[in-house]
A and B are shown apart, each in its own frame.
Chain A
């Protein structure tokens, strides 16, 4: 039932009211019904019966009159009689009209009755007339009989009408009685039920409200008690906070001092890095120098190689000489063979060839001499080539080893310069890193001071919270008390819980706040730059 309490209460109130209203309306209607009925009763059957009665009266009167008229017959009374008849007739007719109006049954009956009446009247009149005129008594008697018959029928009809009306009236009366009875029963029932209902409803609602209230109060109570507990705790933690703030402050101090140390170290690093950077620059330039010198060495080696190549080309020239010598050798050989062939031919020529054979021999000798000289040249060439080759090989080797050495030195230099550039690089990196470091330290410093501030704040906050806690406690105690009152209202008795004494709470709070206040004097100075460290 999530309705508000107001709603509930409204409901509690509204329902009976509504019920009452309902009853009222019901009863009103019932009353009306009854009145209607009564009216109806009155209107119709009563009226009818009245009217019928009137009728009857009238008729009777009329009859009387008529009779009188019949008897007395002439006089002036007759005229009056007739007039009274006439007025009564009017009344009858009016009654008939009224009956007609109000008759609940078959209107034909009325009409027929009326007709009959009218017949009677007419007949009556006629009779009078007749009487007056002194008519034959038979006609008069016939007419009288007729009138009597008519009158009888009329009275029958009227009687019927009357009965009808009476029955109707009885009916209506019964109805209304019944209705009345019913209504009253209903009403009673309604009343009973509604009463019951409202009682139940209110019981429930109020009960639930009550329950809820109780629950709430209990909750409140527990909350309140919790609150007070927590208020205590707050107090405690505030004090603790205070403590820790103090601790924090002290550690902050430590941090600050180590930061200072760090900063000093960083500074040192920086200076070292700068120094090493300088040194490595020096090394670089020196190695460049050295490289230049190496290039010179290489150049001179190249020159040596060139001269070696010259030697090689010289060797080639010598080899060409050797080749030419080979050609000479070929020629020598061919000459030799030619000389042999010449000898052969000379021999063949026999006597004539003798001179020629001498020539051939000489040629052979010449060939031999050339041959040996050519061999000598060959040998010389060979040895010179060997020597030259040796020299050039030696040179080549020397140059080669020189080259290798240069290469090694070059590579060493290269690695050196690489390392030195690495050093430079590293120094720069160190510098940058140191700068970052200082920045970092500064930031840390800042952070530390912020921390300090925060700590301070913490401390004051702690103080505040302590006091707030105390206050809270107090308030909770008060609340507890109010609560008890409420419970009392609800339950109507005092609960078992005792009212909280407010004092304890207050005292605790006081302690806390005192503590907090004591720790205040320490303050951290703020430093923005590394130079500021020196202040401390």
Chain B
């Protein structure tokens, strides 16, 4: 059984900025937003892995979304850079974002899928796009892709 807020046809998303792009993730999938963190780097880990953080006793892996998009590491800015912790079955995963903007009420009808023809790295991670009447636009990340990014990137680097 899937739980969706179908009643109001609104799906709440967390809108955030990564680099120059405005992205969104469904609020349901988010466990927490962390602003005060100390990332412990993991040697010999993949480049897009920033490291590990501690949330109330749970050790969570943090991925650098900016790096995944543009191969540039996210620059830390106080009171801006945050970690959005995504809930998964096994373990939660955090992604490093440049700025958390707002909680958006996206009308479901305004969420569209993206054709996979787009060739850049982004297309691997994005599956939908939201376009509002007010001509607001942001890409909605695909959780699956993010969580399984290692394989995709592996394919790339090889």
Binding site for B on A (CB under 8 A): 329-330, 333-334, 336-337, 339-341, 343-344, 347-348, 350, 357, 360-361, 364
Contacts and interface: CB of A to CB of B under 8 A. Distances in A.
5 contacts: A333-B79, A343-B103, A347-B30, A350-B3, A361-B103
Contact of B32 (A329, A344, A364): A344
B12 A340 contact: no
A340 B16 CA distance: 11
A93 to B, nearest CB: 184
Contacts of B28: 347-348
B137 interface: no
B24 to A, nearest CB: 12
B33 A337 contact: yes
A352 B19 CA distance: 35
Contacts of B76: none
Q: Which 9 A-B pairs have the closest CB atoms?
A: A333-B79, A347-B27, A343-B103, A344-B30, A340-B33, A337-B35, A337-B33, A341-B33, A347-B28
B48 to A, nearest CB: 24
Interface string B57-95: 000000000000000000000011010000000000000
Contact of B103 (A329, A330, A360): A360
B27 A337 contact: no
Contacts of A336: 100
Contact of A334 (B35, B102, B103): B35
B3 A344 contact: no
Given A340-B103, A344-B30, 14 more contacts: A330-B79, A333-B79, A334-B35, A336-B100, A337-B100, A339-B103, A340-B14, A340-B100, A341-B33, A343-B14, A347-B12, A347-B28, A357-B12, A360-B103
A340 B14 CA distance: 8
Contacts of B79: 329-330, 333
A364 B102 contact: yes
A350 B27 CA distance: 11
B12 A337 contact: no
A340 B103 CA distance: 7
Nearest to A347: B27
A340 to B, nearest CB: 5
Contact of A344 (B31, B80, B82, B102): B31
Q: Decide if the interface of chain B is mainly helix, strand, loop or mixed.
A: strand
A344 B33 contact: yes
A326 to B, nearest CB: 9
A337 B103 CA distance: 10
A352 to B, nearest CB: 12
A274 B3 CA distance: 115
A343 B82 CA distance: 16
A343 B5 CA distance: 14
Interface in B6-30: 12, 14, 27-28, 30
Contacts of B12: 343, 347, 357
Contacts of B31: 344
Contacts of A340: 14, 33, 100, 102-103
Contacts of B80: 333
Nearest to A365: B102
A329 B35 CA distance: 13
A334 B35 CA distance: 8
Nearest to A329: B79
A5 to B, nearest CB: 140
Contacts of A329: 79
B37 to A, nearest CB: 12
Contacts of A350: 3
Nearest to B85: A344
A339 B32 CA distance: 11
Contacts of A343: 12, 14, 27, 103
A342 to B, nearest CB: 9
Nearest to B82: A337
A359 to B, nearest CB: 12
A343 B102 CA distance: 10
B9 to A, nearest CB: 14
A340 B12 CA distance: 11
Contacts of A344: 14, 27, 30-33
B53 to A, nearest CB: 15
Interface string B119-154: 000000000000000000000000000000000000
A336 B16 CA distance: 12
A445 to B, nearest CB: 99
A361 B103 CA distance: 8
Among the interface residues A329, A333, A344, which one has the most CB atoms of the partner chain B within 10 A?
A: A344
Contacts of B5: 347
Contacts of B35: 333-334, 337
Among the interface residues B33, B80, B100, which one has the most CB atoms of the partner chain A within 10 A?
A: B33
Contacts of B14: 340, 343-344
A361 B3 CA distance: 22
B83 to A, nearest CB: 10
A396 B5 CA distance: 65
Among the interface residues B30, B80, B100, B103, which one has the most CB atoms of the partner chain A within 10 A?
A: B103
Interface in B22-52: 27-28, 30-33, 35
A53 B30 CA distance: 210
Contacts of A330: 79
Contacts of A334: 35
A364 B100 CA distance: 12
A343 B12 CA distance: 9
Nearest to B12: A347
A350 B1 CA distance: 14
B12 to A, nearest CB: 6
Nearest to B15: A340
Among the interface residues A329, A334, A340, which one has the most CB atoms of the partner chain B within 10 A?
A: A340
A343 B71 CA distance: 31
B74 to A, nearest CB: 17
A449 B14 CA distance: 125
Contacts of A337: 33, 35, 82, 100
